[in-house]
Structure 1
Amino acid sequence: MAATIKITLKRSPIKRVKNQKLTLEALGLTKLNKTVEHNVTPQIMGMVAVVKHLVTVEE
């Protein structure tokens, strides 16, 4: 069974660089306080690292 994490968008992507906006969209985060659940993979953790200042992560 794969471990999962919950990612919640806490800060607005307005006035952020394009790669951060695209990363949030790829994670499925489109609105503030929206929470998505993903399996823990190196790809997902790399995406979270790019936008760590905009999201909160729960294991």
Structure 2
Amino acid sequence: MSKQIKIKLTKGLVHCTARQKENVKSLGLRKIGQTVVRDDTPVYRGMIDKVRHLVTVEEAD
């Protein structure tokens, strides 16, 4: 089984660029405070890196 990470949206998308909004949407996040669990792959890590000021990341159990 691959590692998994928890991604939580901590800030709003009001003053973000369209590209950042699309990245957050692609991660599966819609509302502030929402948390999703995803596989720890380079694809997801790249998307997280682009919006790292909007989300928090931690290892999933």
Short-chain TM bin: over 0.9
SS at match of 1:32: coil
Q: TM-score, normalised to structure 2's length?
A: 0.95
Distance in 1, Cα, partners of 2:51 & 2:57: 11
Which residue does the alignment assign to 2:50?
50
Which residue does the alignment assign to 2:2?
2
Which residue does the alignment assign to 2:14?
14
Q: What stretches of structure 2 of length at least 5 have no aligned partner? A: none
SS at match of 2:22: helix
Distance in 2, Cα, partners of 1:48 & 1:15: 18
Distance in 1, Cα, partners of 2:15 & 2:52: 16
Q: Residue 20 of structure 1: CA displacement?
A: 0.3
Question: How many residue pairs end up in the alignment?
Answer: 59
Which residue does the alignment assign to 2:33?
33
Q: TM-score, normalised to structure 1's length?
A: 0.98
Moved over 2 A (4+): none
Q: Residue 15 of structure 1: CA displacement?
A: 1.2
